Chains A and B, each alone.
Chain A
Amino acid sequence: GEDVEQSLFLSVREGDSSVINCTYTDSSSTYLYWYKQEPGAGLQLLTYIFSNMDMKQDQRLTVLLNKKDKHLSLRIADTQTGDSAIYFCAHSGSARQLTFGSGTQLTVLP
Chain B
Amino acid sequence: SAVISQKPSRDICQRGTSLTIQCQVDSQVTMMFWYRQQPGQSLTLIATANQGSEATYESGFVIDKFPISRPNLTFSTLTVSNMSPEDSSIYLCSVITGDSPLHFGNGTRLTVT
Contacts and interface: CB of A to CB of B under 8 A. Distances in A.
B45 interface: yes
Contacts of B48: 97
A102 B42 contact: yes
Say whether chain A's binding surface is mostly helix, strand, loop, or mixed: strand
B3 to A, nearest CB: 12
What interface size band does chain B fall in? 20 to 34
Interface residues of A, number: 21
B75 interface: no
B45 A98 contact: yes
Interface string B80-112: 000000000010101010000111111101000
Interface of A: 31, 33, 35, 40-45, 48, 88, 90, 92, 96-103
8 A-B pairs with the lowest CB-CB distances in the bound complex, closest first = A42-B106, A43-B104, A42-B107, A100-B42, A100-B43, A48-B101, A102-B42, A42-B104
Interface of B: 1, 6, 31, 33, 41-45, 48, 90, 92, 94, 96, 101-107, 109
12 contacts: A41-B106, A42-B6, A42-B92, A42-B104, A43-B104, A45-B103, A45-B104, A48-B101, A88-B42, A88-B43, A100-B44, A101-B42
